[in-house]
């Protein structure tokens, strides 16, 4: 191939003829040559770099492996250079036991809604004390604004955010600031708008279905190439784009009956890239199965687990949400029993570990052996994009409860035995909601989404007027207001999160106390909580009235490490008074006690 030629290639195993259309305006159609493997290829001058593939005389469609869709997901793909200049040669990554994750949606993190604009706030994240940024999906999706879970061009970075060049600049800058970057990726389905893969090959199967439509073909005829399409995408992010990890969306909807599950295949690839580059790579699954096998090590012969590095622990969120907000509708009903919080904070991330789930109507889950699976393999949160954005009007916890109750929730999360995750703006109790928004061109699709969400909200007992997902005002309302960060109660909440994350770094008990050795005392009648991890104890008053809380005799370290209530302290007068045995707390108040810093 000469220096001014490019090899075009597309997999279309059932096609009789394939053309590549090159150029803008009135592109030129070039016939491609079929290989025995079902791939069609052509080497030719790329012209202005725009191209698309037409199968059997049909419409020209984007490349399934396109790195750029400058005119949207319905238009031609564009060739881009990927020989980026990197400055992160000394970057070694962040180990999961040291991770504090920050979930970030590029489009609403700043008013500009770009990766370059997000770079301007990296110092804020460093000062906060997080170590990992988890970007919500960037794969190109229809329209301008959206959550990203309806992406259809999985290799292309959404152009509005800055494209693949913007992602390069963001990752390089984050590494320079000491921050790892994970990307949320969706391999279980594609969005309905702009999804043309079925015209090219058997990317989907009717043997399985997901709540969002056709399942990706992982185990039927042609699935070898589909799996390669997914694993090559993993390699793109982790190797070429230097990302430190991936959050894998809803892996329980990756329907795969083959002996080697695609998740195991991805985990092995991530480990291979880490070994080759010397930089840690992390795969974290969102899974509804409550199965520790997701993160159990792989073993020869397939006798082990899938070998992923971590997984979300939704049961921890649900238990925290119930105790902080008092909401018990829908799937929260299983967590109304105070024993639920005791269980998920003291011994296991799964409330349902073989127990009966009322909203599923069956037994669910499997037990976690803390001697085999450490707590840091489970990512826990008080708030996530799902749990906020899938409410009727997108309320954050700080919109539902008093500042003190929000502070209690933060303390329980950030001193827990799990890897904690914050949702952007949570650290300062952002005034802005985070609502569901889309930008679909088809009226039928937009209306279908409106009706579906209204039905779901009715099931949860929410009767508020739901913001229109298609309105630009919904995006504007969901965009963070950075001017408020250092104002009043926002500044106070930010300081509280900074204090808690500093303690997580400085106090060995918060890093080293194993899952199963955390102790929770929950006095329902008195409305008090005490969470003890080694020498660190969190004492919270869930009631509205001031009260004195008796400390158990085993709490020996009673120096005040952090406190929310500004006028209350360990009874006895002075911090570090070893003779004091009570804590005086205001209503909705919390204090963290522990050994005096050396």
Q: Is 286 a catalytic residue?
A: yes
Beta strand pairing call for 28-31 and 77-78: unpaired
Please give the Cα distance from 287 to 289 (Å, whole number).
Answer: 6
CB 282 within 8 A of CB 255: no
Which residues contact residue 298 at a Cβ distance below 8 angstroms, ignoring those fewer than 6 apart?
264, 267, 268, 304, 305, 306, 307
Neighbours of 472 (CB within 10 A): 12
Which residues contact residue 180 at a Cβ distance below 8 angstroms, ignoring those fewer than 6 apart?
93, 94, 99, 131, 132, 133, 174, 244, 245, 282
CB 60 within 8 A of CB 34: no
Which residues contact residue 337 at a Cβ distance below 8 angstroms, ignoring those fewer than 6 apart?
none
Strand partners, 378: 311
Q: Point out the catalytic residue in the list 103, 286, 315, 499.
A: 286
Q: DSSP letter for 304, please.
A: S
Please give the Cα distance from 526 to 543 (Å, whole number).
Answer: 8
Q: Point out the catalytic residue in the list 63, 159, 249, 253.
A: 249
User: Is the dihedral angle over the CA atoms 57, 59, 63, 67 positive or is it negative?
Assistant: positive
Please give the Cα distance from 459 to 115 (Å, whole number).
Answer: 37
- The residue among 104, 116, 171, 106 whose CA lies nearest residue 140 is 106
Active site (catalytic) residues = 249, 286
């Amino acid at each position: 191939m000469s220096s001014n030629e490019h090899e075009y290639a597309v997999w279309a195993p059932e096609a009789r003829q394939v053309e590549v259309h090159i150029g803008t305006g009135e592109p030129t159609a070039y016939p491609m040559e079929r290989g025995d493997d079902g791939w069609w290829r052509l080497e030719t001058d790329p012209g202005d770099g725009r191209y698309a593939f037409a199968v059997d005389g049909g419409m020209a469609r984007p490349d399934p492996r396109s790195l750029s869709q400058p005119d949207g997901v319905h238009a031609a793909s564009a060739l881009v250079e990927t020989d980026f200049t990197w400055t992160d040669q000394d970057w070694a990554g962040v180990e999961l036991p040291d991770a504090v994750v920050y979930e970030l949606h590029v489009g609403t993190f700043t008013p500009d809604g770009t990766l370059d604009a997000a770079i301007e706030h990296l110092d804020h994240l460093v000062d906060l004390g997080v170590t990992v940024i988890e970007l919500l999906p960037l794969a190109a999706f229809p329209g301008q604004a959206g959550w990203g879970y309806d992406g259809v061009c999985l290799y292309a970075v959404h152009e509005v955010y800055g494209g693949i060049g913007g992602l390069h600049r963001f990752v390089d800058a984050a590494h320079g600031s000491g921050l790892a970057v994970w990307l949320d990726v969706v391999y279980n389905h594609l969005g309905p708008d702009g999804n043309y893969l079925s015209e090219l090959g058997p990317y989907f199967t009717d043997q399985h279905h997901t709540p969002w439509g056709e399942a990706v073909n992982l185990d039927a005829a042609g699935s070898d190439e589909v799996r390669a399409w997914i694993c090559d995408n993993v390699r793109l992010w982790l190797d070429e784009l230097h990302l430190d990890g991936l959050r894998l969306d809803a892996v329980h909807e990756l329907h795969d009956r083959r002996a080697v599950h695609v998740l195991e295949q991805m985990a092995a690839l991530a480990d291979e890239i880490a070994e080759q580059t010397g930089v840690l790579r992390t795969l974290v699954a969102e899974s509804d199965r409550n199965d520790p096998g997701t993160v159990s090590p792989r073993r020869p012969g397939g006798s082990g687990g899938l070998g992923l590095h971590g997984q979300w622990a939704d049961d921890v969120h649900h238990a925290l949400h119930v105790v902080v907000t008092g909401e018990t509708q829908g799937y929260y009903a299983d967590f109304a029993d105070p024993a639920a919080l005791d269980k998920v904070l003291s011994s296991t991330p799964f409330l349902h570990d073989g127990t009966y789930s009322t909203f599923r109507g069956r037994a669910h889950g499997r037990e976690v052996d803390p001697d085999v699976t450490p707590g840091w393999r489970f990512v826990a949160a008080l708030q996530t994009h799902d749990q906020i954005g899938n409410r009727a009007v997108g309320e954050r916890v700080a919109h539902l409860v008093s500042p003190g109750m929000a502070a209690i929730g933060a303390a329980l999360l950030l001193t827990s035995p799990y890897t904690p995750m914050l949702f952007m703006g949570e650290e300062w109790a952002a005034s802005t909601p985070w609502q569901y928004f889309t930008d679909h061109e088809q009226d039928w699709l937009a209306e279908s989404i409106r009706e579906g969400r209204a039905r779901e909200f009715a099931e949860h007992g929410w009767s508020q007027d739901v913001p229109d997902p298609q309105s630009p005002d919904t995006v504007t309302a969901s965009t963070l207001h950075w001017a408020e960060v250092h104002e009043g109660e926002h500044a106070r909440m930010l300081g509280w999160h900074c204090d808690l994350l500093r303690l997580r770094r400085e106090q060995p008990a918060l890093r080293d106390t194993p899952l199963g050795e955390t102790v929770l005392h929950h006095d329902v009648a008195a409305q008090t909580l005490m969470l003890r991890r080694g020498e660190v104890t969190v004492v919270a008053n869930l009631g509205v009235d001031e009260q004195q809380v008796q400390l158990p005799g085993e709490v020996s370290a009673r120096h005040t490490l952090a406190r929310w209530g500004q006028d209350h302290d360990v009874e006895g007068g002075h911090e570090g008074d070893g003779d004091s045995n009570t804590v005086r707390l205001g209503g909705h108040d919390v204090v963290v006690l522990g050994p005096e810093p050396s």
